[in-house]
Structure 1
């Protein structure tokens, strides 16, 4: 029997609490009775805990998930320290080009909330080049992911579409991805053509592959697998690149909750271009380098941990109005030494609609693949 959460709603009038409410949300949310689930062998036991709280102003949107709360405060609350930002990237052993690229950005430019006005500067001329190119420095690329589960087998193998959100309200198609049916591990094909999701198609741009446990993922471009091609016939330029590695921390307790994840991506050179990572063997892969703590010219990122708020007695995380529904899939990706610079954020806004925003040095294919990994079932993490 699958466990579920039972909740009731109770409403009260606005009071002094609403007027003094800081810019953060709370869990349990106002006017909610929260059901806490305890798992047994064959059934779920419930403990109902009632907490009545006054209403918040209408400008606040309450989003909670597994004892996490996501704030919808104004962009002015996001502050970045340039000193912390520089230190964050130098500690990874990156090339000087990466340092210079990131130091060019002033603190206010690097705030996720303050970049919305610059979204119109993102133009898609050549789609294949755009999805592989790092986001423009100083601009947040705002996108939307839609999940299509219609059809005979799309309940198990849905198709995902990524669109760029323009300032004029129009959307531009970027990528599509779907899980392969006959594969021992989770394997997603990614294409720049929504109607062609085949491995042999001309629009095939990359893939996402997981391990058996579904806890570690690798993102590849459309190059050749070196293990399937004789060395004498394989040219280095045709060898596939690894664009990212995603690692989800296992949860030995088996309870659902906020996931912990690590993302490793290649660093940047003096021309602000990605340093190619073309492993000829497993020992040269991003996952192996990360596990061996060999991070030269690599960037190690983590999902941002929620912060405890004494006033609301809750954990809070600010999505700047881009996330409106609770989900364990909601996350922000940052560097540990500069958690105010959001490299990527992902969250639910409807049953099958998610927002995905990313910043330099991430590209669309990397961001889309990281988002796809969050949809995949991870029994060891939940």
Structure 2
């Protein structure tokens, strides 16, 4: 039996499983329009069918060779959903796929939900875009499937704006339908101060070993009896964003800087390492632990690589790249390399600050800009993650009268 026929047979069997209901209603979508995702928590009849299947009892050496070839043959979505589907077949398949699939830093690919919490690639940025819905105050992040800015893209994250008397919150989730803090797909939030000039990015899971939970009012409520046990553990600050005041408008466009609490300054140096989450940690029985794909018996320190013991040397600080005044166009300009087409005060590029010694201060780590009425591009690379980049970009949507 040839290898090609094996692959075809296996895909036909996976396809029949998919048609019987191998779909999810939880967050990390395969199709951008319906926002559905692959789910590995199969129903009991499907589990029984798979346990009797010849694929569940394949020799480990042959199985590994087959899965490696599948992973190598698909580079981008939507075909890459086959890799996620293989990881949901059974425990042995899942364990092998978790070993085969590399982090975005190495592979430059986003495969599983945890990829959105891991640092981006070192060599070239991942090109994404954000769609804004003014009516519902929601923002959707997509991975660009082609160079065209008009494609549907691959759904990654969603955020909803919540106005409060003293601040504004942006709740970030894997699910477009349920972005509440009590949802199992809630992964963090962005919170502003009263003026909208300072923001804090909170992660619902500890970003590294020894991370300190915030003592804010919302985090104290998590332990109270009035809150549902489905609410994630709390708020772990991972970044602080500040926009400089510019009341008279004498200093040109907006100026901002970001202090990445969870990333050491040494991460951008040659050979530097940024903390990398390898699994979602579970704080309640109804959280991600309900999915076998995310279940693990490993401890916190085993799930988080890149300990932040070297954070004492200083955190990574990002600042916006200063634009240059164009005499002929009579405006401030930045080179976005064709990824931004509409002039907007929201456009920015983030580079390492001069405070980070021996850093490449010209390398753009995060780029955000407008290409349509409610369409924006977002390109990011190592050492920040898609979640962190998305949260930073959300801060640019707030109106900042004192900073314009």
Q: One fold, TM greater than 0.5?
A: yes
Q: Within 5 Å, give how 1:1-382 maps onto structure 2.
A: 122-127=108-113, 129-150=114-135, 154=136, 158-167=137-146, 171-223=153-205, 225-227=214-216, 228-229=219-220, 240-253=235-248, 257-265=252-260, 266-268=262-264, 272-274=273-275, 296-308=313-325, 315-337=332-354, 338-382=360-404
Cα drift, residue 120 of structure 1: 12
Tell me: CA distance 1:298–1:275, structure 2 relative to 1, closer, same or farther (3 Å).
Answer: farther
- Name the TM-score, length of structure 1 as normaliser: 0.55
Q: Which moved more, 1:168-177 or 1:194-203?
A: 168-177
State the Cα RMSD in Å.
3.5
On the 8 A contact 2:347/2:370 being kept in 1, the answer is: yes
Where is the helix percentage greater, Structure 1 or Structure 2?
2
Deviations 1:242-266 (A, max 9, x none): 2211100111216795100011113
Cα drift, residue 182 of structure 1: 4.2
- Name the TM-score, length of structure 2 as normaliser: 0.52
Tell me: CA distance 1:311–1:379, structure 2 relative to 1, closer, same or farther (3 Å).
Answer: closer
Cα drift, residue 340 of structure 1: 2.0
Cα drift, residue 180 of structure 1: 1.4
On the 8 A contact 2:106/2:122 being kept in 1, the answer is: no
On the 8 A contact 2:127/2:379 being kept in 1, the answer is: yes
Q: Say which structure, 1 or 2, has more relative contact order (CA 8 Å, 6+ apart).
A: 1
Cα drift, residue 315 of structure 1: 4.5
Count of residue pairs brought into register by the alignment: 238
CA distance in 1, matches of 2:119, 2:249: 37
Tell me: CA distance 1:124–1:229, structure 2 relative to 1, closer, same or farther (3 Å).
Answer: same
On the 8 A contact 1:261/1:302 being kept in 2, the answer is: yes
Deviations 1:41-99 (A, max 9, x none): xxxxxxxxxxxxxxxxxxxxxxxxxxxxxxxxxxxxxxxxxxxxxxxxxxxxxxxxxxx
Cα drift, residue 221 of structure 1: 0.7
SS in 1 for 2:376: strand
